[in-house]
């Protein structure tokens, strides 16, 4: 018997496949489309340096002292005002809990709401980090059927029969991780109406809502049903993930419990980080930062779209072809590879060609990824430059053509953009 007897809870824990993959991506020459890492060049380092100097000169005690578990009052006020401007008109600062990244919000929700064996409804596929956060609390994950517009209201309506006692539905309406899809206005209305009809609370995770490249997304679900929705937001994608600051907005009935859970977990989020972020926001940094980020990522999105079209396009008419939709925001393309391919197996060949992606099966609840799910792939377009994206997708085309050729699927050669293998062979593969 071991000296350390692990709890049942800890035995359910798993390390994220993406984090493991990211370690491999540190190899020199690797062009990774795996992690959703914001472009480092976009971090407001100069602005942070100057506010850090001021905060530490003018408010050293407050910035370095223990603080309130709820978070810094001014920051909670800012978040509440910001969300009111986004359509969540009833939000008050008293409902805002500052968290150590929205990832902590997910953990707190698992701790406070999930129960051993009780169902939790999740989109299929869903954000891996949320599945990871909820798993130790022993829920039974119940996938909600989705189409290109997100979860289907009719499927939500079947939950009382197939998942009685479901604690909440975890939803990502804006540029979902991993699919990049946006839930349109009509679908939002349908989902909220269905949730209200069956009395199912919603958890709305929105780290990507500000990263829109064509038009701003419709109002959040929480704007439509404030008393039935917990809303999660983050400064990671709009300022910098290393600050580890996010927030949640909870109805008063739930807020106290989440606050107690937060207190037990880390007392409060970093005072220094909160002071720095508040000072940045008061300097109106987002007014410059957001348009610059959108412009930058739009160019990257368009570069990946053009590269995919060139390397993997021409397959639209073929049922065996590659399929994807152009994301209107966020960080990811979601590809469906030709029938018969397995993204997990292709990853080895991709790594040999010094590129990386995340096989889509990772984002489905364990045991629910069939052959159709196993040929999906998530590609991030925000970390690499447009030139690197071009090269990475070129290598991806080579890997796919090699895999199809190995299957003896010659005719698809034409379907994959009409290029021949040799023209695209990379030194690593040839
Ligand atoms: N939710 C989603 C959908 C995410 O993609 C991420 C980060 N990848 C998070 C939550 C966590 O973000 P953070 O803790 O940095 O706020």
Q: Is the CB of 231 under 6 A from ligand 1?
A: no
Burial letters for 155-193: b for 16+ Cβ neighbours within 10 Å, e otherwise? bbbebeeebeebbbbbbbbbbbbbbbbbbeeebbebbbe
Task: Give the lowest-confidence range in 116-130, 172-186, 225-239, 406-420.
Answer: 406-420
Residue to mutate (ligand 1; options 22, 101, 209; most atoms within 8 A of CB): 101
Q: Is the CB of 101 under 6 A from ligand 1?
A: yes
Closest CA to 128 of 38, 258, 232, 15: 15
CA distance 132 to 124: 15
CA distance 94 to 4: 41
Neighbouring residues of 122: CB distance < 8 A, sequence distance ≥ 6: 130, 131, 141, 142, 143, 144, 169, 170, 365
Q: Is the CB of 129 under 6 A from ligand 1?
A: yes
Largest CA distance in the chain: 70
CA distance 391 to 388: 5
Give me the pLDDT at residue 319, please: 53
Please report, for residues 20, 141, 245, 366, the alpha-carbon distance to residue 9 in angstroms, rounded to integers and kept in the order given: 21, 16, 26, 17
Residue 268 CA to ligand 1 centre (angstroms)? 19
Q: Is the CB of 207 under 6 A from ligand 1?
A: yes
Environment class of 12 (CB within 10 Å of its CB; exposed 0-12, middle 13-18, buried 19+):
middle
Residue 225 CA to ligand 1 centre (angstroms)? 23
Residue 181 CA to ligand 1 centre (angstroms)? 16
Q: Is the CB of 38 under 6 A from ligand 1?
A: no
Residue to mutate (ligand 1; options 129, 243, 327; most atoms within 8 A of CB): 129
CA distance 152 to 253: 28
Residue 310 CA to ligand 1 centre (angstroms)? 31
Burial letters for 26-50: b for 16+ Cβ neighbours within 10 Å, e otherwise? eeeeebbbbbbebbeebbbeebbee
- Ligand 1 atom showing the smallest separation from residue 331 Cα: 5
Q: Is the CB of 384 under 6 A from ligand 1?
A: no
Burial letters for 391-423: b for 16+ Cβ neighbours within 10 Å, e otherwise? bbbbbbbbbbbbbbeeeebeebeebbbebebee
| pLDDT tier, 417 (very low <50, low <70, confident <90, very high otherwise) | very low
Residue 243 CA to ligand 1 centre (angstroms)? 13
Give me the pLDDT at residue 339, please: 87
Residue 103 CA to ligand 1 centre (angstroms)? 6
Q: Is the CB of 103 under 6 A from ligand 1?
A: yes
- Ligand 1 atom showing the smallest separation from residue 241 Cα: 15
Which tokens belong to 385? Answer: 């430059």
Bridge partners of 120, per DSSP, are 141
Environment class of 428 (CB within 10 Å of its CB; exposed 0-12, middle 13-18, buried 19+):
middle
Residue nearest to atom 8 of ligand 1 (CA): 36
Give 266-293 pLDDT, tens digit per residue.
999 999 999 999 999 999 999 999 999 9
Mean pLDDT of the chain: 91
| pLDDT tier, 26 (very low <50, low <70, confident <90, very high otherwise) | confident
Dihedral over Cα of 263, 225, 135, 7: its sign = positive
| pLDDT tier, 24 (very low <50, low <70, confident <90, very high otherwise) | confident
Mean pLDDT in residue range 53-70: 97
Residue nearest to atom 13 of ligand 1 (CA): 101
| pLDDT tier, 20 (very low <50, low <70, confident <90, very high otherwise) | confident
φ/ψ of 59, rounded to 5, equals -135, 50
Please report, for residues 49, 233, 271, 288, 407, the alpha-carbon distance to residue 244 in angstroms, rounded to integers and kept in the order given: 17, 12, 11, 21, 45
Task: Give the number of other Cβ atoms within 10 Å of residue 326's Cβ.
Answer: 14
CA distance 324 to 306: 12
Rounded to two decimals, what is the model's pTM? Answer: 0.92
Bridge partners of 32, per DSSP, are 356
Give me the pLDDT at residue 12, please: 80
């Amino acid at each position: 018997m071991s000296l350390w007897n692990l709890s049942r809870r800890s035995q359910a824990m798993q390390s994220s496949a993406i984090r493991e993959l990211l370690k491999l991506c540190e190899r020199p020459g690797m062009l990774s489309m795996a992690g959703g890492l914001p472009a480092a060049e976009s971090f407001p380092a100069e602005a942070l340096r100057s506010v850090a100097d001021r905060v530490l000169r003018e408010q050293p005690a407050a910035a370095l002292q223990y603080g309130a578990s709820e978070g810094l009052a001014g920051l909670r006020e800012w978040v509440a005002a910001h969300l009111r401007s986004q359509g969540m008109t009833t939000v008050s600062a008293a409902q805002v809990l500052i968290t150590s990244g929205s990832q902590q919000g997910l953990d707190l929700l698992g701790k406070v709401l999930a129960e051993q064996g009780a169902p939790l409804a999740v989109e299929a596929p869903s954000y891996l980090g949320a599945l990871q956060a909820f798993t130790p609390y022993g829920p039974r994950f119940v996938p909600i059927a989705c189409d290109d517009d997100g979860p289907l209201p009719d499927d939500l309506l079947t939950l009382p029969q197939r998942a009685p006692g479901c604690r909440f539905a975890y939803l990502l309406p804006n540029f979902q991780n991993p699919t990049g899809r946006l839930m349109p206005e009509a679908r939002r209305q349908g989902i909220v109406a269905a949730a209200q009809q069956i009395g199912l609370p919603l958890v709305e995770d929105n780290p990507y809502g500000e990263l829109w490249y064509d038009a701003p997304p419709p109002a959040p679900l929480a704007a439509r049903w404030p008393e039935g929705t917990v809303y999660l937001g983050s400064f990671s994608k709009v300022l910098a993930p290393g600050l580890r600051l996010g927030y949640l907005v909870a109805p008063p009935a739930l807020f106290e419990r989440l606050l107690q859970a937060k207190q037990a977990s880390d007392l409060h989020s970093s005072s220094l980080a909160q002071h720095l972020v508040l000072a940045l926001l008061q300097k109106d940094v987002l007014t410059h930062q957001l348009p610059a980020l959108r412009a930058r990522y739009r160019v990257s999105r368009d570069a990946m779209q053009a590269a995919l079209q060139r390397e993997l396009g021409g397959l639209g008419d073929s049922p065996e072809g590659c399929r994807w939709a152009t994301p209107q925001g966020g960080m990811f393309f979601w590809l469906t590879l030709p029938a018969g391919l397995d993204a997990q197996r292709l990853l080895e060949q991709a790594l040999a060609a010094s590129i990386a992606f995340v096989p889509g099966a990772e984002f489905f609840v364990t045991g629910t990824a069939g052959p159709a799910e196993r040929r999906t792939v998530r590609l991030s377009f925000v970390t690499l430059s447009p030139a690197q994206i071009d090269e990475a997708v070129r290598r991806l085309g080579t890997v796919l053509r090699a895999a199809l050729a190995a299957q003896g699927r010659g005719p698809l050669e034409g379907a994959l953009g009409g290029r021949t293998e040799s023209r695209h062979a990379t030194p690593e593969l040839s």
